């Protein structure tokens, strides 16, 4: 496994990759790798000759009061896991290497990036889209793999790649969960013992909401079902919302055959957790 630090080290490896036969895929991460990330890598390896993993905690997508400083950093362990999974190249750029000068031109994801998580995390999706666009230009992979847990992120990246005619296939991979249903997240380490026991309620509530579609097509009743359950949680509810997928449009009455996203964010003492279910109305 080749480890690159600087942009120029990466550019040499990119040349090697491009000269080799077969396609290569990118798995962009912020490190603190868990089974969810490893699943992205396994999926990527099944379809591509080579897999490149980036580890970069992007300051541009963290708000002033968010957890950039406390975001878990576990580089040694990450590299061991990547070695074991058979990643071909790992690139860990420094902040100075990606933002040599102040980033003056950025991506504008409004209105897609203003709703759901974006209504609280102002500027988050613009910052995320900006760094993903930078990586797509610097890496130019045949495909890039993202988790469906960040469904809004996935929807925005897919639209960006389409809108800007970028020759990279964006692949969304199913969320990996613990046995009790809790979606894996690097931020789960910030849950205390009681919160960890409580946290599966998030997925249970979303599941109840989706099950409610057997009885009603009324979006408000479906989200209410999920909210009612979440009110028993130790966490405070940031939002529970039902929108079309991937266009993230408000919906009042669900129509058969269409795809929807039921998404929620909750706040524990030190951890903000998100989860969602993407489903087709039947």
* Burial bucket for residue 201 (CB in 10 Å: 0-12, 13-18, 19+): buried
One symbol per residue from 231 to 270: x for binding its own copies (CB under 8 A), - otherwise; what is it?
----------------------------------------
Distance CA 146, CA 277 (A): 15
The two tokens of residue 264 are 């929620």
38-77 residues in contact with its own copies (CB under 8 A) are: none
Q: Does 120 count as an annotated binding residue?
A: no
Question: Shortest approach of its own copies to residue 212 CB, angstroms?
Answer: 30
Give the CA distances from residue 51 to residues 16, 83, 216, in Å, rounded to whole numbers and listed in that order. Answer: 13, 12, 44
Site string for its own copies, 86-105 (x = CB under 8 A): ---------------x-xxx
Residue 181 marked as a ligand binder? no
- Is position 23 an interface residue for its own copies (rule: CB under 8 A)? no
Burial of 17 (0-12, 13-18, 19+ CB in 10 A): buried
Q: Based on CB atoms, which residue is closest to its own copies, 62 or 135?
A: 135
Q: Within 10 Å of residue 185's Cβ, how many Cβ atoms?
A: 23
Q: How far is the CB of 120 from its own copies (least distance, A)?
A: 20
Short-list 90, 66, 62, 68, CA closest to 77: 90
| 205 belongs to an annotated ligand binding site | no
Q: Does 17 bind its own copies (CB under 8 A)?
A: no
Whether residue 37 lies in the annotated active site:
yes
Q: Which residues bind its own copies (CB under 8 A)?
A: 7, 101, 103-109, 111-112, 126, 129, 133-134, 137-138, 156, 159-160, 162-167
- Catalytic positions are 37
């Amino acid at each position: 496994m080749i480890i690159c630090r600087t942009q120029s080290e990466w550019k040499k490896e990119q040349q090697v990759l491009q000269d080799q036969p077969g396609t290569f895929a990118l798995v962009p991460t912020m490190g603190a790798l868990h089974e969810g990330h490893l699943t992205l890598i396994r999926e990527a390896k099944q379809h591509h000759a080579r897999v490149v993993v980036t580890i970069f905690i992007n300051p541009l997508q963290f708000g002033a009061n968010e957890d950039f400083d406390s975001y878990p950093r576990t580089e040694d362990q990450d590299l061991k896991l990547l070695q074991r999974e058979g990643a071909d190249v790992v690139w860990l750029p420094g902040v100075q290497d990606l933002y040599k000068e102040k980033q003056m031109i950025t991506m504008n994801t409004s209105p897609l990036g203003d709703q759901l998580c974006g209504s609280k995390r102002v500027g988050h999706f613009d910052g995320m889209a900006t760094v993903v666009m930078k990586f797509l230009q610097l890496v130019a992979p045949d495909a890039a793999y993202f988790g469906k847990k960040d469904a809004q992120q996935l929807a925005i990246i897919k639209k960006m790649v389409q809108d800007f005619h970028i020759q990279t296939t964006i692949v969304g991979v199913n969320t990996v969960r613990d046995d009790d249903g809790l979606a894996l997240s690097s931020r789960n380490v910030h849950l205390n013992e009681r919160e960890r026991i409580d946290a599966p309620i998030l997925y249970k509530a979303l599941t109840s909401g989706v099950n409610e579609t057997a009885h009603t097509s009324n979006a408000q009743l479906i989200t209410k079902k999920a909210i009612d359950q979440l009110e028993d949680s130790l966490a405070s509810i940031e939002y529970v919302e039902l929108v079309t997928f991937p266009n993230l449009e408000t919906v009042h009455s669900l129509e058969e055959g269409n795809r929807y996203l039921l998404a929620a964010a909750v706040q524990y003492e030190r951890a903000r957790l998100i989860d969602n279910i993407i489903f087709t109305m039947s």
